[in-house]
Structure 1
Amino acid sequence: MKKQLIPGVLLLASAVSVQASEQYDEAAKYAGSVKDQGMTVMKGTDPAATIPGYTANPDESGYYGGTTATSNTDLENAGNSEMHNGEAGKTIMDVINNRPSDPISTDAPFISGSLDVEDQAETLTRGTDTQCKDVDVNRTQITNYTCERTPAVELACTRTATAGGGHEEDTTEIRQVVIASQAIAFSSSDAGYTGVWTAPVTGRVVSATATYSWNKHLAFGNASWFMRVTTPFGLISMDEDTGSPALSSGAQLTEGAGMLFAIRTKNSQPAADAVWKNSNMRYSFTITLRVEVPAKKWVPDVVWTETCPFDKSDQVMTGSVCTDPGGDRVFTFNGQQYTLHSDCWQYTDTYVSQSADNGTCDQYMNNTACTVASTTCLESLNGHCLREQAIFSCEEKVSGSAQLCGGDLVCADGSCDHLENNSVNDFQSAVSGLAALAAAGKDIAALNGVNVSAFTGEGHSCRKAMAGFSNCCKDSGWGNDAGLASCNTEEKALAEAKKRKLSIYVGSYCAHKVLGVCLEKKEGYCQFDSKLAKIVQDQGRRGQLGIGFGSGDSPDCRGLTVDELKRLKFDQMNFADFYDDLENGTTLPADQTLIDRVKQQIADKMAGGVQ
């Protein structure tokens, strides 16, 4: 029997082998026929006709440095330029420089829980079967809290001095005046042989020199031919044929006034016209004066230019520092050098200088379970946020008991239902909404239908900046700053209201201005009697209805009308800030306690025979 099976097996194997060989040959032939078609199609295709917007040389190709390049300077320079000059880059740099740090801690529940799962992965997956076992069910409850804080900001203007403008100043200059004898009309008179010279300028003679000449050899020693010229500046004795006698300084000239010159002979006899004017004798003298006359000179001024990146008219200058020390400096105008003096060549004037104040965000910033969900700038100046509203998401682990049966979570007693349905805070949320409605109803009932409104607040203000004054608008640190003792009662009460989250920031304004200079800066707030009122006004009036609170100098803290109340969606409001008041002010049953109480009531009814 075995011998008969062997040929049959061999025959079957041979048939299978032949069939496989034929299939292989067919596949090989097909593969060979299409072997190079892919590259042929690629080489023969025009990308520009196939791909929309295709270009062979895009602008970005300039950044490609080749396969061996380790860096590209053009790409790096373009990136740096865009970072510092582009709108997106400026925004990123502004956030890096000015936003407060909001670190995420590894102790945060969503991180620590993930790390625990990673560490216990093997334990969690081991022994998976259809058996039921008791397990603890943990869930993270996320609650959002809204708060306000003050980022650290310092804004300043610079005043820089330089040479410019110019004005004339009184000074003196030396002018040369030449008096030639030929220009004086001498004539004989009772006073002798005299002449009058008219002064061309007003000033004081600082030096006077003279020269004279005549044909002395024609005098033959005759004293009547030797001349003596009396001038306002001294005596010229013509004893030689030429001479340069020194004259006196100090004489005062007055422009247009005449000055007397007299000529006598050596023997003190008046000279005659015939003698002095004798052409053969050639008498002449010349007096050269150096006169100090009044003058004006142009000098440049020390001109101040101010660079201010914001409108300072509504800001109070809190300090000024010389950042470029004073002294003498030389400036050149029209090729002439001038020395100017300034006690300081540049001042830096600080108008906004606020340190970081965590305000009502402090408890969340210091809680590792809280992270920043979003921020909104409430007031800014020149791109710098001066006051910020932040929303923190805070996580809390909530535990329950259940059974795990074959991968399904079973809650036999309903204790984990709330975890699955995301309804841990059902009771708190419901009570908060009802409390808000009750408070609104109480306000409306008290008004008896006249100007009906609810959740009315009051406007309050505090002094933020004033020369030599402390910041009475601080959100925190009141117990540590001795300078805050000068803050008034209203400001201290407002600080307490802000601490208790009963106020809404409206804005800042200049409260006192003289000659265009702001001397006092204030902040305006709306203050409410309860957190409920503040929440409804903030999230309802401003958030849902889009109705603002006026301006800092005139806060609009009016209540909500009945029509506005009807339009509010209380189920969309976050009453998390009110939960603390619920828990601290009233003993409120937890959801499970309510369930247990209902169960007990049902059991009691059933035991009493009530169907």
Structure 2
Amino acid sequence: MRAFWGGLILLLPLLAVADTTSDAFNSGAEFGKGNKGQGTNSLNNPDSVTGSIPGYTSNPPETGYYGGINGDDGGLVNKGMEGLLNSNAGQAVIDAGTKNPLPVIDPNAPFITAGKDAESNADGMINGTGNPQQCQETNVSKSEFEKYTCERDAWIEQSCSRTAKIVIEGDSTWETQTLQYELYDIPMQEINGRNIVTIVPQVSGEIIQATYSWQNNTGNKPRFFMNVSILGAEIPWHNKGNYQNVSFTPVPATLTAGVAFTSSHPHELRDGSGRQKFYKHVPMSIRLVLRVKKNNSVPKVEWTESCGFQKSRGVLAAKSAPVFVSSVCSEAGGYRPVTIDGVVQQVWSDCWEYLDQYLVQSGSNGTCEPLMNDPACTVTGTQCLTQNGSYCEHERVNYECQRKFTSGGIICGGEYFCKTGDCSDTDGAGDSGFDEAVSKLAGLASAADDVKKGQNAMDVRAFTGKVTSCRKAIAGFSNCCKDSGWGQDVGLSACNSEELALGKAKAKKITVSLGERCDREVLGVCLQKSKVYCVFEGKLARIIQEQGRRDQLGVGFGSGKNPDCRGITIPELQNINFDLINFSDFYSDLMDNQKIPDSSVMVKQVKDRIAAQVQQQQGQGGIK
């Protein structure tokens, strides 16, 4: 089997090179180049797609198989099995196993003669009448240690944001104040034929009572008439006596400190003998009773904290408490205005928002969960992939798992006869090598299905990955790069669908971590980081990329800032030694995905045909 495999590995790349350089390939490539723009033109003009692509429909039936990130396969696997069992192609494959020409078995073959000897002596061996020194029951066992790797979060970065806001502390009381103004003693202006006195109050409040008083000191002079305007109220008034504490209604009925109000009357007053000119306001006083608010309020800076995790969770879950890492001012300080009872005040803070970083034990087993639960697996070493000070955030763990193979049989004359049918597992390497051989073949088949072509038709690549990232320590939200715990922590609703899909890809062991990049930087300090990964189509692609491209060829995947998830070229694929690749991670998928129809029936058919051929040989005298 290994000799066949080595020849197969050598042959396939040579065939690939020969085919790609043939005239037929070059002709096909030129034809493809000449038509490469037609599909793009059709897609750029959606109205012409229906006529350009035969059978085009905007809602093909295959859409029923896609359930989104959280959905299932819509029964695609079952449909595939139905297609295998019910289609002509599937039946042809199944029939090939039963209708091929019968193999010719040499009656003198060692396994036939040994079997006949065992058959002839079976009665004696079973009932104990045979030679006890010649045959005896025995069990044969053999152990192998297979190597596995997995990754898990040890500590994860989480963040809290502390935000400052201005609050008003203190309360207000009300008191009554009385204001009185002697208008005759206040400087007067003459504006547009009116004598105007302007008063600027020093307090604010609600006017609950307004009165005016006038003392007539002119003796028996002829009376005169005028209108006095006080605080927007028009007061008809004439000189025929004294007025004391006459109420009036100001408009509006409020005073604001610093906002002037006026009292005015006509510039010239008429009497019966002619005109008389006044240079001061008429001898009037105004008395105002106010309801004044006495304010004891002062502004204060108050801090509130928002975290994407529960700080007490570590203690409650018997884990270590969160470890404080750093604090960065994410919103610069300075003055901010606040208005208290109409007065604008400036409030100072050195910083208006801080971003605090913590390290929290993740409690996640990542992809190590199955190995940790397997008592036959033992940790052989760890490697830190992401270091944060003296703490390791993300680590790779190496395991060795013991696999024991056992078979039961009889030893007769030094020859072992297997009775349980699994002798190949206890002979030689410890297993039949089936898993390894199929994994290698599946790797080559996957390479053929996953080729990517660039502008140069000869630039064929396989196992191409996709660059994907997740945000860590989002301010006020949870870490979206966690291996597990999705839906359990505060703030995970802020994580997008790409980050959710990446979490599932890590659980499937189809990702390679490339490191971190900074998404937001302030004054040389990174406030927002992302972890970057290469995501591949399956485990085979990830295994060959890691152990073939990276470990054997020394071609890395770049970094978080400059990721390189490109496919493997044909020359690189030729230089990879598949015999050195450990496919153990893929074995479980291989066994889980086996779909062998009616295996018991097919085994019985093979046994019956062998028995029939042996009987036919006996009838011809070939076997005695």
**TM-score, with normalisation over the residues of structure 1?**
0.43
Larger Rg: 1
TM-score, length-scaled by structure 2? 0.42
